[in-house]
Amino acid sequence: MTRKYFGTDGIRGRVNTAKLTPEVAMKAGMAAGRIFTRGEHRHRVVIGKDTRLSGYMIESALVSGFTAVGMDVFQFGPLPTPAVAMLTRSLRADLGVMITASHNPFEDNGIKFFGPDGQKLSDDVEMEIEQLMDAGLAQGLAPSERIGRAKRIDDSQARYIEFAKRTFPRNLRLEGLRIVIDCAHGAAYKVAPEVLWELGADIVPLGVTPDGTNINLDCGSTAPQAMCNKVREMRADFGIALDGDADRVVMADEKGNIIDGDQILALIAKSWSRNDKLKGGGVVGTVMSNAGLDRYLKTLDLSLARSAVGDRYVLEEMAKGGFNVGGEQSGHIILSDFSTTGDGLIAALQVLAVLAQEDKTASEAAHLYNPLPQVLENVRYKKGSPLDDARVQSSIDDGNAKLGASGRILVRKSGTEPLIRVMAEGDDEKLVRAVVRQIASAIEEVAA
């Protein structure tokens, strides 16, 4: 069945267009509230958000929807997505909600739902919410005496700060380390610098002055050059760049060289395997994970299981195979010993723990393998299904024939934006680039 509202990571779209309006948000709150109202206890939903201007509007609409069906609402204000997942469980809530469009520009926003276990909802539950949203919700309204209440939780940031610090080894400190932390003017702009400072680091903050419109703007994990430049300028030991809701991270060594999600997975896998903490005999990546990671893990007698793109699918594969480490090249790192979703800050703390334990620089410790040349090109389209066109399929087949067994091609639609992502990797970078451009050109012609 075609999904009308939900994509690969909740409801997301340009604010005040058909995909995401106050009416849509209110209906989503009412529908989700009805589904998760089970039993006679007083039902509770928690809501966090990033720093987008539209967050106020969407939060108010959601609160109206939830209280209308009899749920009490706890409002956290700006808080990372993983903190909302954690507090959903900690506060014994029936449902958790994060208002964010993650790494997208401020004009977009979204709604992510978490079940009482702190995990994102299944496709089936999301479809159930969609069906209720369009079926009419008047019959689900609570009687006057059962309408919900809304309450602000003032110490939610402090709770997450303490939680994050507990994931760092108690016998270690970050004293002597100068760390650039870029919060993308987003949800972690208060908590992330505070955690690092309380652990002893000398911090250089970036992206910590949100104004409602500057989230992810030339900063954060999708634009890490600002962080890299600041690392070099300040002669820092390490750099951390989070995205707008802080569920993904990209890092930099002391030379300003990027450490992506695949390298983070390799480092944590090596460290946790050596300390008998790694479960499942390897890690979970995605179809986008670099083949160099796979080759490196094999040298450690570890495996790389691949899932579809999206941290929800990574988590599903982790559960299926008994893994406790998984993630995406883009920086969604899930460490299920600590969290039920990607947590950029906790992933960074695990890398910093290795640097502190081994007394190595980031450039020595974090670049464990040479990635295969991998090229990604995004092609925007307005309508239709360009991937169904015979010319596009022919260009993909031709590219596969050119790369042969030494490479691979992945062409897929984005689940959050009207983009088709064309990726190829192989030992011959020049050939890889030519193959990607050939396929992208075919898609551009069809999509024109």
Q: What is the pLDDT of residues 419-439, one digit of tens each?
A: 899 999 999 999 999 999 999
For residue 256, the number of C-alpha atoms closer than 13 Å in the C-beta half-sphere is 12
Q: What is the largest CA-CA distance in the chain?
A: 69
Give the residue among 411, 409, 400, 408 at the shortest CA–CA distance from 378: 411
The C-alpha atoms of residue 269 and residue 259 are separated, in whole angstroms, by 15
271 in active site: no
Correct CATH for 374-447 of 3.40.190.10, 3.30.310.50, 1.25.10.10, 3.30.565.10: 3.30.310.50
Tokens of 278: 């790694």
Res 265 pLDDT > 70: yes
The beta-carbon contacts of 406-414 under 8 Å, at least 24 apart in sequence, are 407/372, 407/431, 407/432, 407/435, 408/291, 409/435, 409/439, 410/287, 410/288, 411/387, 411/439, 412/287, 412/309, 413/387, 414/378
Average pLDDT, the chain: 94
CA distances from 350 to 41, 249, 355 (A): 39, 12, 9
The CATH topology of domain 6-154 is Alpha-D-Glucose-1,6-Bisphosphate; Chain A, domain 3 (3.40.120)
**pLDDT confidence band for 418 (50 / 70 / 90):** confident
Answer yes or no: are the C-beta atoms of 147 and 46 closer than 8 Å.
no
Give me the mean pLDDT over the 128-151 stretch.
90
**How confident is the model over 46-91, as pLDDT tens digits?**
999 999 999 999 999 999 999 999 999 999 999 999 999 999 999 9
Give me the mean pLDDT over the 280-291 stretch.
95
Q: Do domains 6-154 and 374-447 have the same CATH topology?
A: no
The C-alpha atoms of residue 113 and residue 32 are separated, in whole angstroms, by 9
Res 417 pLDDT > 80: no
Res 384 pLDDT > 80: no
Q: What percent of the chain has pLDDT over 70?
A: 99
Res 415 pLDDT > 80: no
Whose tokens are 């992506």? That residue is 260
**How confident is the model over 216-229, as pLDDT tens digits?**
999 999 999 999 99
Catalytic residue among 54, 102, 289, 330: 102
More confident call, 246 vs 311: 246
CA dihedral of 127, 96, 84, 86, whole degrees rounded to 10: -100
**How confident is the model over 174-202, as pLDDT tens digits?**
999 999 999 999 999 999 999 999 999 99
Domain boundaries, the chain: 6-154, 159-365, 374-447
Report pLDDT for 1.
56
What CATH architecture applies to the domain 159-365?
3-Layer(aba) Sandwich (3.40)
**How confident is the model over 325-339, as pLDDT tens digits?**
999 999 999 999 999
Taking the CA atoms of 194, 161, 249 and 347 in sequence, report the sign of the dihedral they define: positive
**pLDDT confidence band for 40 (50 / 70 / 90):** confident
Report pLDDT for 414.
81
Res 383 pLDDT > 70: yes
Report pLDDT for 238.
97
**pLDDT confidence band for 405 (50 / 70 / 90):** confident
Answer yes or no: are the C-beta atoms of 184 and 210 closer than 8 Å.
no
**pLDDT confidence band for 253 (50 / 70 / 90):** very high
Report pLDDT for 403.
92
Taking the CA atoms of 231, 164, 361 and 427 in sequence, report the sign of the dihedral they define: negative
Report pLDDT for 3.
81
